[in-house]
Amino acid sequence: MTDDHVYLTLAESDHEAEARWAYGTGFADPLLGVDTALAPDVDGADLSLYCQMLGDDALILSQRLIEWCTRAPELEEEVALANLGLDLLGQARLLLSRAGQADGSGRGEDDFAYWRPEHEFRNVRLVEVANGDFAFSVARLLLFATARGALYELLAGAPDPVLRAVAVRGAKELAYHQEYATAWTLRLGDGTAYSAERMQAGLDAVWPLLDELFTPHEVELRLGVDPTALREPVLAALAEVITEARLTVPTALPLARIGGRAGRDGVHTEALGPLLAEFQSVAREHPGATW
């Protein structure tokens, strides 16, 4: 049975594939051996930027979710939030790896995650704002999972094979995230007067950040993806959940753009800087470190 045990197999193996999953351990390329040719009518630079946009959304929200470790209301929720973060991190790894292939720069996932400055991150502002209370985090997750699941369904027809593969599998993962967020929205909204108040406050606080997910960027449009098509079905799905939870669909206006620019253009809220400072600290303190 010795060979059937993963840790013993790793300890015994003498090949180079015994990497652990952490910075500096040479963890395997998530696109190992995948055909990386670009479809003929796809612009590599555009595809790279779009993969960074979606990859950064997943990476930054993953980081926010795992901040709940040791702080969640119950152990089960901690495990749940870490699991959701893991799904998103997996999507981010594939998308950022694809970004480095598509633009021909050869940058790997670590180059994108640890070595870009804040203004080169392309995530929407929804994913970067601080966690707030549990209801706020649930509200954010509900909005993101509903919208991203819908986008991934749209991207199941994308011309790029890697983007398509991420989208097809990601849509299933996001449906699970959406179910989790829905269950908590119902439980808090339809719970006590106090839990309903907190859940409503969470929804009200994240609502201005929703619109950015439906605002097309020129890069997406050139790739034939128009997120404005998501607005109506996503709003309908959210309204269904919020109404079922006996809460009120917020009417807050979208958060203003800065000189017409927002997260997709690298313009962020003050919340992203501190997140990146912590997230990138080990890699920047020990550049090129291996262990």
Task: Count the neighbouring beta carbons within 10 Å of the beta carbon of residue 186.
Answer: 17
228 binds other proteins (CB under 8 A): no
Using CA atoms, how far residue 178 sits from 133, 134, 170, 274, in Å, is 18, 16, 12, 28
284 binds other proteins (CB under 8 A): no
List the x/- string, 112-151, binding to other proteins by CB under 8 A.
----------------------------------------
Angle, helices 134-155/44-66, rounded to nearest 10 degrees: 150
Q: How far is the CB of 13 from other proteins (least distance, A)?
A: 5
Q: Which of 114, 124, 84, 92 is nearest to 213 (CA)?
A: 124
199 binds other proteins (CB under 8 A): no
80 binds other proteins (CB under 8 A): yes
- Residue 107 tokens read as 């940058």
Rounded-to-integer distance, Cα 168 and Cα 159, Å: 13
160 binds other proteins (CB under 8 A): no
94 binds other proteins (CB under 8 A): yes
172 binds other proteins (CB under 8 A): yes
229 binds other proteins (CB under 8 A): no
8 binds other proteins (CB under 8 A): no
Rounded-to-integer distance, Cα 81 and Cα 279, Å: 18
162 binds other proteins (CB under 8 A): yes
Q: Could you tell me which stretch among 48-56, 91-99, 216-224, 273-281 binds other proteins (CB under 8 A)?
A: 91-99
236 binds other proteins (CB under 8 A): no
Number of H helices, E strands in the chain: 11, 0
Rounded-to-integer distance, Cα 146 and Cα 118, Å: 26
The burial class, CB within 10 Å (0-12 / 13-18 / 19+), for 148 is buried
Rounded-to-integer distance, Cα 253 and Cα 203, Å: 13
- The answer to whether 249 and 109 are in contact (CB under 8 A) is no
Q: Which amino acid is at 27?
A: F
When binding is defined by CB under 8 A, the residue of 154, 186, 235, 271 that contacts other proteins is 186
- The answer to whether 18 and 82 are in contact (CB under 8 A) is no
Rounded-to-integer distance, Cα 154 and Cα 156, Å: 5
57 binds other proteins (CB under 8 A): no
Q: How far is the CB of 20 from other proteins (least distance, A)?
A: 8
When binding is defined by CB under 8 A, the residue of 229, 237, 267, 283 that contacts other proteins is 237
240 binds other proteins (CB under 8 A): yes
42 binds other proteins (CB under 8 A): no
When binding is defined by CB under 8 A, the residue of 24, 161, 191, 266 that contacts other proteins is 161
Binding site for other proteins (CB under 8 A): 3-6, 9-10, 12-13, 15, 17-19, 21, 27-28, 30-34, 76, 79-80, 82-83, 86-91, 93-94, 161-162, 164-166, 168-170, 172-173, 175-176, 178-180, 182-183, 186, 237, 240-241, 244
